[in-house]
């Protein structure tokens, strides 16, 4: 190679990174001997940060823009400045590009069921899954805490750790929320906000944040879901007797469509169910139960008449109240006569005892005084 071409190569250097993998978080700019020339151009695009590392120490972080690496305070030495080393600089520098855009559609889920105490079902287990996004907010911290000297760091290398953090935070929040299982679907947005806040506080130590967190589904164990489906079906059926008849009719239809055993077994089973259902309906007509047709019943008897109590007026004083039986004894004793004034609730003023229809019969028990007495 001509010496002119060799020397011109020592003056020109363009440092940049373009990525189409959609998965790489950190990429180290590869340069032979890790030599960064004086006056090199550094291009940092939107959605990127560049971390400059010199002799193993983090020197600077560059945000999006175009930079000329030529200032005296930059730890950069060109090979032309060190002829005694044969164009090999003893000062080694590295540049790491960090993707600061959002990594989307990342999956999370509970590997094992989460135990919680539901106010309606009691102790139960649930599973959940969803998606989240992650973004680097502190490139220097992320490089020093997570990446280290890895020349190409991908999202897969940290997603497992983030999923563990998510599941731990979700389990703690969901178990202490006190929200019934049947109401969790209506509160997924609030639960997601709580979990995202809990996770962000943890991953901030890694230089990351979780800008979006979604709970797509919360499910019960299959046995609990089956029991819940039966409970819902019974609620929709309403009348248990009609539900039984409907189920029997469905079984008859299925048996008729299944020609097992040459059709004899299915037909016989269908006929047997039909006869059982007809007998059940006839029995309900004869002895209607709480869900069957109710026979016409006689109207209830009228309420018993209200017994009156009476007051007696004598010599400007009132006495009583007395029952009708007590007044009958007073007639026998002679302390109540036909001319005694009596009154009861609802009566218009005082009346003579013999003028009250209800009391007049008391004076017919004893014969009236003889004529001329």
**How large is the average pLDDT for residues 186-210?**
88
Which has more confidence, 154 or 232? 154
Specify whether 216 is located in the same domain as 171: yes
In-domain check, residue 291: no
pLDDT in tens, 94-119: 889 999 999 998 999 988 888 888 88
Q: Give the pLDDT of residue 135.
A: 93
Q: Does the reported pTM lie above 0.75? A: no
**How large is the average pLDDT for residues 145-157?**
86
In-domain check, residue 295: no
In-domain check, residue 242: yes
Q: Give the pLDDT of residue 132.
A: 93
Banded model confidence at residue 147, pLDDT cuts 50, 70, 90:
confident
Q: Give the pLDDT of residue 88.
A: 40
Banded model confidence at residue 278, pLDDT cuts 50, 70, 90:
low
Specify whether 88 is located in the same domain as 22: yes
Q: Report the number of distinct structural domains present in the chain.
A: 4
Banded model confidence at residue 83, pLDDT cuts 50, 70, 90:
very low
pLDDT beyond 50 at 73:
no
Tell which of 65, 99, 133 closes a domain.
Answer: 99
Q: How big is the CA angle at 88 (ends 85 and 89), to the nearest 5 degrees?
A: 95
Domain that holds residue 351: 310-364
Q: Give the pLDDT of residue 70.
A: 62
Specify whether 53 is located in the same domain as 149: no
Tell which of 76, 99, 122 closes a domain.
Answer: 99
Specify whether 91 is located in the same domain as 108: no
Banded model confidence at residue 183, pLDDT cuts 50, 70, 90:
confident
pLDDT in tens, 345-356: 878 888 888 888
Q: Give the pLDDT of residue 2.
A: 43
In-domain check, residue 231: no
HEC-encoded secondary structure of the chain: CCHHHHHHHCCCCEECCCCCCCCEEEEECCCHHHCCCCCEEEEECCCEEEEEEECCEEEEEECCEEEEECCCCCCCCCHHHCHHHCCCCCCCEEEEEEECCCEEEEEEECCCCEEEEECCCEEEEEEEEEEEEEEECCHHHHHHHHHCCCCEEECHHHHHHHHHHHHHHHHHHHHHCCCCHHHCHHHHHHHHHHHHHHHHHHHHHHCEEEEEEEEEEEECCHHHHHHHHHHHHHHHHCCHHHHHHHHHHHHHHHHHHCCHHHHHHHHHHHHHHHHHHHHHHHHHHHCCCCCCCCCCCCCCCCCCCCCCCEEEEECCEEEEEECHHHHHHHHHHCCCCCCCEEECCCCCCCEEHHHCHHHHHHHHCCCCCCCCC
Q: Give the pLDDT of residue 281.
A: 60
């Amino acid at each position: 190679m001509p010496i002119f071409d060799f020397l011109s190569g020592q003056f020109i250097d363009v440092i940049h990174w373009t990525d189409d993998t959609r998965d790489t978080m950190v990429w180290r700019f590869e340069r032979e001997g890790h030599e960064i020339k004086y006056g090199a151009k550094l291009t940092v695009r939107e959605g990127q940060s560049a971390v400059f590392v010199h002799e193993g120490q983090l020197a600077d972080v560059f945000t999006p823009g175009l930079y000329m690496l030529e200032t005296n305070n930059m730890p950069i030495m060109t090979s032309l400045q060190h002829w005694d080393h044969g164009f090999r600089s003893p000062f080694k520098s590295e540049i790491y590009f960090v993707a600061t855009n959002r990594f989307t559609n990342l999956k999370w889920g509970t590997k094992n069921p989460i135990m919680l105490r539901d106010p309606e079902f009691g102790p139960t287990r649930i599973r959940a899954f969803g998606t989240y996004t992650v973004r680097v907010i502190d490139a220097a911290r992320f490089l020093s805490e997570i990446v280290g000297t890895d020349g190409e760091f991908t999202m897969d290398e940290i997603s497992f750790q983030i999923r563990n953090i998510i599941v731990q935070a979700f389990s703690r929040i969901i178990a202490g929320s006190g929200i019934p299982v049947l109401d969790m679907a209506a509160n997924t947005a609030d639960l997601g906000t709580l979990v995202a806040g809990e996770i962000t506080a943890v991953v901030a130590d890694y230089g990351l944040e979780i800008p979006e967190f979604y709970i797509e589904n919360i499910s019960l164990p299959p046995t609990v879901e089956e029991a819940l489906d039966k409970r819902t079906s019974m609620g929709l059926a309403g009348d248990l007797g009609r539900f039984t008849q409907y189920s029997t009719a469905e079984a008859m239809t299925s048996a008729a469509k299944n020609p097992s055993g040459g059709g004899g077994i299915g037909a016989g089973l269908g006929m047997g169910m039909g006869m059982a259902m007809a007998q059940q309906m006839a029995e309900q007509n004869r002895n209607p139960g709480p869900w069957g047709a109710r026979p016409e019943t006689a109207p209830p008897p009228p309420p018993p008449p209200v017994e009156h109590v009476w007051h007696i007026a004598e010599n400007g004083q009132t006495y009583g109240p007395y029952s009708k039986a007590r007044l009958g004894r007073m007639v026998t004793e002679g302390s109540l006569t036909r001319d005694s004034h009596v009154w009861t609730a609802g009566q218009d003023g005082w009346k003579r005892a013999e003028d009250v229809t209800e009391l007049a019969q008391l004076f017919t028990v004893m014969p009236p005084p003889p004529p001329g007495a």
